[in-house]
Structure 1
Amino acid sequence: MSAAPGAADLVLHERHDGVLTITINRPAHKNAMDHEAALQLAAAVDLLDADPELSVGVLTGADGVFSAGMDLKAFAKGELPVLPGRGFGGLTGTAVRKPLIAAVEGWALGGGFEMVLACDLIVATDDARFGLPEVTRGLVAAAGGLVRLPRRLPYHVAARVLLTGEPLTAAEGKHYGLVNVLTPPGGALEGALELAGRVARNAPLALAAVKEVLRETQGLNESDAFRRQDEITSGVFDSEDAQEGARAFAQRRAPVWHGR
């Protein structure tokens, strides 16, 4: 999957110390997603998962806004920022193997909020807002909002957001456990990169296994969840990294991971 020849850089990415920062770069459109932006975001996510030198991704938006969701002007012309098998923005239906952190400034609306919900951790500024206004436009939040939000928030809080179309504040998100870290305005990316660094220093095989277990055991009964967990994690205990972790602990040094 690749961007169209000569397409503008609608999604930027930069790597540093095992972390890939992915930036939605349509500031003139409040980082709303069109089809081309979805293709480029999907390619960036594929890069994160494919590159063994990368452990964690950080997803953010340019110029103080995470994303206003779907580009409604493009939608009115018949264009959708939804990719087959991958969902909105090429992300919401994609099983990303490595941890992904959302760094939210300003608004995360509609599909923008649903992309946030597709991430594993959320860092947001005090003045950030999260909304699913689809019902006010004759639509529904079918790219993850309807399914994921009630799993992350108390039912009646999620129902209020979904049925009224009114936004959730970052402070409310932190109170209910949706947001991991609050920062001052302008500090979401810095906060997300600090959190990403704390994640990236851990063993990559273990990180991927933890994420897969979290994703695949939701809704299972306990016995089925343990069975699936054991299937996913069995190789971790036999890995070189597991041996390295034990040696590093015994030798009182930092481990050197190899992802195998």
Structure 2
Amino acid sequence: MGISTTRPGAGIAEIVVDAPPVNALTVQGWYDLAGAVLAAGRDPDVRVVLLRAAGRGFNAGVDIKEMQSTPGHGALIGANRGCFAAFAAVYDCEVPVIAAVHGFCLGGGIGLVGNADIVVASDDAYFGLPEVDRGALGAATHLARLVPQHLMRAMVYTCRNVTAAELHHHGSVLEVVPRDALRDTALELAGNLAAKDPYVLRRAKESLNGIDPVDVHRSYRYEQGFTFELNLAGAGDRHRDAFLHDNKES
């Protein structure tokens, strides 16, 4: 369990998140994921990274239990910095990152997927930002890379989810396949990229980041400032405690 990296094919690094029950990552988990992605990208033998998860869903964001059980604000600050590091690692990875998404992709999962180069998903996948209902803000920067502007705003305010089929319609999910075909589909796509000239592929990633109209690092950091304000105002703890109270069985 945790974060593991394997080599399922020539030039492919497969990074798997396995943090039961819902792949909600601890502070250390976010940093571990960031380190794994960056290390894979720096490896000259790697031409593409496949990021996926085991278990019930892709990612449920931060570990709220850790945050609420840790005295002071250390876990909140750690989670914010850890998420920033992990999202940035996907974006800054020196090779293309393919995200293979199944089940739920919520909160921090949106940050990872929104910064990926290519997204494939299973037909049971759904995506959303429950942040407003948790007394926090963040990852609208990355959601805006997946859906049109007005839908992004509606999703932030209402905390509604969208399906993989909807994202395929918007062009942000490349393929939607049955869940049992997701990994094979992602590996086939990864193999296609891995067969290309590695120098050209790395320069392509660098050039695409260079022409991006939004600085995702600064934009996300700006959002995070409002999470700290909400916490200082008491809204963060109030909503996180309510969430844990309503989900004791988890």
Q: Distance in 2 between matches of 1:152 and 1:131?
A: 11
Residue equivalent to 1:20? 13
Deviation track 1:197-223 (CA, whole Å, cap 9, x = no partner) reads: 111111111111111111121229xxx
CA contact (8 A) 1:64 1:186 kept: no
Residue equivalent to 1:150? 144
Does residue 165 (structure 1) correspond to residue 156 (structure 2)? The answer is no
Say which structure is richer in helix: 2
Q: Distance in 2 between matches of 1:204 and 1:183?
A: 28
Does residue 132 (structure 1) correspond to residue 129 (structure 2)? The answer is yes
Residue equivalent to 1:186? 180
Structure 1 runs (4+) greater than 6 angstroms displaced: none
Q: Distance in 2 between matches of 1:13 and 1:82?
A: 22
Q: Distance in 1 between matches of 2:79 and 2:209?
A: 21
- What count of residue pairs does the alignment treat as equivalent? 206
Residue equivalent to 2:247? none
Q: CA deviation at 1:184?
A: 0.4
Q: How does 1:217-232 map to 2 (within 5 A)?
A: 217-219=211-213
Amino acid at match of 1:52: P
2:33 maps to which of 41, 45, 58: 41
Residue equivalent to 2:85? 90
Q: TM-score, normalized by length of structure 1?
A: 0.74
Residue equivalent to 1:103? 100
Q: CA deviation at 1:186?
A: 2.6
Gaps of 5+ in 2: 215-250
Residue equivalent to 2:58? 66
Cα RMSD between the aligned structures?
1.8
Q: TM-score, normalized by length of structure 2?
A: 0.77
Q: CA deviation at 1:27?
A: 2.1
Pick closer, same or farther for the CA change 1:10–1:173 going to 2, 3 Å.
Answer: same
SS across alignment from 2:212: coil
2:171 maps to which of 149, 166, 177: 177
SS across alignment from 2:124: coil
CA contact (8 A) 2:101 2:120 kept: yes
Q: Distance in 2 between matches of 1:188 and 1:196?
A: 12
Pick closer, same or farther for the CA change 1:113–1:219 going to 2, 3 Å.
Answer: closer
Q: Distance in 1 between matches of 2:54 and 2:106?
A: 15
Q: CA deviation at 1:83?
A: 7.1
Pick closer, same or farther for the CA change 1:159–1:40 going to 2, 3 Å.
Answer: same
SS across alignment from 1:192: helix
CA contact (8 A) 1:123 1:180 kept: yes
SS across alignment from 1:159: helix
* Worse-superposed segment, 152-161 or 166-175: 152-161
Residue equivalent to 1:113? 110
How many percent of aligned residue pairs carry the same amino acid? 35
